[in-house]
Amino acid sequence: MLLLVVLALLGARSSPRLLTSQQDDRCAVTQVVDGDTFRCGDGRKIRLIGVDTPEKAQGEAGQLARRALLRYLPPGRVVRLERDVQATDRYGRVLAFVWTGATMVNEAMVREGWAVLYTVPPDVKYAERFRRAQKEARAGRAGLWASGGFDCLPRDYRRNRCLTRS
């Protein structure tokens, strides 16, 4: 009987810790790979949920998107990772909404014109928020919208659907 009480108390004490760690996951940035992917000091590779940026092979557009993410996530910056439904993508990257202070980096990248909306259900928590940000960025010709950087969307580029590949 005493064992059951001890286990119950331990379970009650550990559950909040588990919930807190899932809701308040922190990461120290070590490297920005491209405009929507970065690495943490613990070795995890993080993919921003709900957005897509030009591929590195898309030339200047890919470089500009990477530099934009680097401004938000310089090496050493500690960020908060917020999860949605799926933990990882098919490449094993951790899927997350990334926060630096009160700024959601995913949304900021779209709002500033460095990323486009890329919804992959079931991870759609902020899809409408990103849709509004993209509409504003496109109308205001922000970031890559000003230079034709999204004439070939990243998903189309990956599928060889663009007339020319950089």
Q: Is residue 7 part of a domain?
A: no
The domain tally of the chain equals 1
Q: Is residue 104 part of a domain?
A: yes
The residue from 39, 66, 93, 111 that is catalytic is 93
Q: Is residue 135 part of a domain?
A: yes
Q: Is residue 126 part of a domain?
A: yes
CATH code of residue 72? 2.40.50.90
Instruction: Please list, in sequence order, all residues whose beta carbon lies within 8 angstroms of the beta carbon of residue 41, skipping any fewer than 6 positions away.
Output: 27, 28, 29, 30
Contact between 118 and 155 (Cβ < 8 Å)? yes
Q: Is residue 91 part of a domain?
A: yes
Establish whether 55 is a catalytic residue: yes
Global pTM reads 0.84
Q: What is the pLDDT of residues 85-143, one digit of tens each?
A: 999 999 999 999 999 999 999 999 999 999 999 999 999 999 999 999 999 999 999 99
The residue from 55, 82, 107, 112 that is catalytic is 55
Establish whether 136 is a catalytic residue: no
Q: Is residue 163 part of a domain?
A: no
Q: Which domain holds residue 63?
A: 23-158
Task: Decide if pLDDT at 5 tops 90.
Answer: no
Cα 42 to Cα 13, 45, 100: the distances in Å are 26, 9, 18
The residue from 47, 82, 111, 112 that is catalytic is 47
Cα R_g (the chain), whole angstroms: 19
Establish whether 60 is a catalytic residue: no
Cα 71 to Cα 29, 83, 113: the distances in Å are 12, 22, 14
